[in-house]
Chain A
Amino acid sequence: MNKIWPSFDAAVADIPDGASVAVNFWGFPGVTQNLILALRNRGTKDLTLIINNWGTAPMPEEILVNPAILLPQMKKLITSFFVSSPRLVDMYGIPSKEAELEEKLEVEVMSHGILMARLHAAASGFGGFYSPVGVGTILEEGKEKRVIDGREYILEMPLKPDFGFVRAHKADKYGNLVYLGVERGYNPVIAMASKVTIAEVDEIVEPEELDPEAIVTPAIFVDRIVQIPEGGRGSYKDSMQKVHAFLSIEWIRPLVLRTKGKEAQR
């Protein structure tokens, strides 16, 4: 058994037009930067992107690849945190070329937890589930409702991506994965839910080097593994260098560090 693929381009080469792809994006950690770039280079069209956070933020691509670079190739967005391009223009005063493309996009927004739960339902083979989240809000529109034990619930349906991109720290050739800190995030959920899971990792190690007690995503959920070249884009080392370069930008610091209440903290 060998799930190791030679390149990011090869690992995404069979993703067809119209496919749905799940990707993690919540700050710096855990973004499959190389797989996203490979998918852009492949030029696959009419994609449905399933992503926890969407925003075409003015982040230089050299620092962090934002999955929003796939926008010209997308027909649908499924997300929990949708900040539109015009809103970002207001926030940062930077003109957005994406606004027009975004307007054509079909957008489905739900709560963050329900996005996770719908993926998990698909992973578990459930046909749907009753959720108390969003009762009395826009989330219930057009959905079946039911009272269970005196509480109102909404019927939510499973969500099964055709492909899932997963960022992990280490893998073995079987596809067992371990993560670093909050890089874990949405990634194990994507791995469990997707029909085809492709992992982008810092390092592929011998199976005996991974402690079975510490494995987070078991091999059964992973189909393909690609290793980031040592120190290459998106590796832990590279990301650490870039985040520190990023922190030297003055307007960035208040967004990611604490500026108020300094005295109280000390």
Chain B
Amino acid sequence: MKERLSEETIALRAAKEFQDGNCVNLGFGIPNLCALFVPEGRTVLFHAENGVLGYGPILLEDEADKVDIRYQDAGTRFFTPQAGMSFFDMGMAFDMIRGGRLDITVLGAFQVSKKGDLANWGRPGDISRAIGGGMDLAIGAKRVIVTMEHVTKDGKPRILKKCTYPLTGKECVDLIVTDIAVMEVTNKGLVLKEVAPGWTAEEVQALTEPKLIIAEDLKEIEL
């Protein structure tokens, strides 16, 4: 078995996209880890849809004594307050998202299609419908980055010609960062831009349903 990137490393790669002064919303799971890897010298204001912008780091497991119920993010994790932070109601939180103020959202996904359709909230036939704010983020953020494992536990592609899971948004994804590759969604199709160390474009293609366009400057993921 070839080595795949860890969740932390996927998050690190995605976080390289954050530019100085960006407002960024992070989804559950791997996206949430991106907060740990903001590139040095860049200031990012993190946005949570339950009504806070510019919040500090999530408390670590051994910092439980610092927990304050006033400071909980959209994934119900407790965070550190910091200067420059602001609170607002959830209506305004979503106005910020849909109104195009959010520079980047990083979301998890079950599936992404070659056109950038995103499926990330439910499985077919499941009566649970954990839609949350994903649909607003998918169409509202200026840039949608997806972090995900490239294939399912059974080794089947998650990057498909057409999603089979219920959609969060149509043609909304801009960049996909997986445990083996980085792909950009373009009008012409998915462009393979980077591969994980030790992986070739052919090996990534074999685990991806749609035909990938190989970037002329294809390179190893830089970390």
* A contact residues vs B (CB 8 Å cutoff): 26-29, 52-53, 80-84, 86-87, 107, 109-114, 116-117, 119-120, 131-139, 179-189, 216, 236, 239-240, 243-244, 247, 253-262, 264-266
Contact = CB atoms under 8 A, between A and B. Distances in A.
Interface string B33-64: 10011000000000011111000011111011
A134 B126 CA distance: 19
B101 to A, nearest CB: 13
Interface stretch (B83-91, B144-152, B204-212): B83-91
Of A133, A239, A240, A266, the most chain B CB neighbours within 10 A belong to A133
A156 B13 CA distance: 38
A254 B8 CA distance: 16
A110 B134 CA distance: 11
Interface residues of B, number: 60
B90 A185 contact: yes
A259 B69 contact: no
Nearest to B29: A260
B61 A253 contact: yes
Interface of B: 7-8, 11-12, 33, 36-37, 48-52, 57-61, 63-65, 67-74, 76-78, 81, 87-91, 93-94, 97-98, 117, 126-136, 139-140, 166-170
14 contacts: A29-B70, A111-B135, A116-B91, A135-B170, A139-B131, A181-B68, A182-B73, A182-B87, A184-B87, A186-B50, A187-B89, A244-B67, A255-B76, A259-B61
Contact of A256 (B11, B76, B130): B76
B51 to A, nearest CB: 5
Given A116-B93, A137-B167, A257-B63, 6 more contacts: A26-B90, A82-B128, A111-B135, A181-B52, A257-B61, A260-B8
B61 A240 contact: no
A207 B131 CA distance: 41
B90 A262 contact: no
Contacts of B11: 261
Contacts of A82: 128-131
Given A112-B49, A256-B76, A189 B91 contact: yes
B77 A132 contact: no
A108 to B, nearest CB: 10
B75 to A, nearest CB: 9
Contacts of B63: 257
Contact of A119 (B70, B91, B170): B91
A83 B130 CA distance: 6
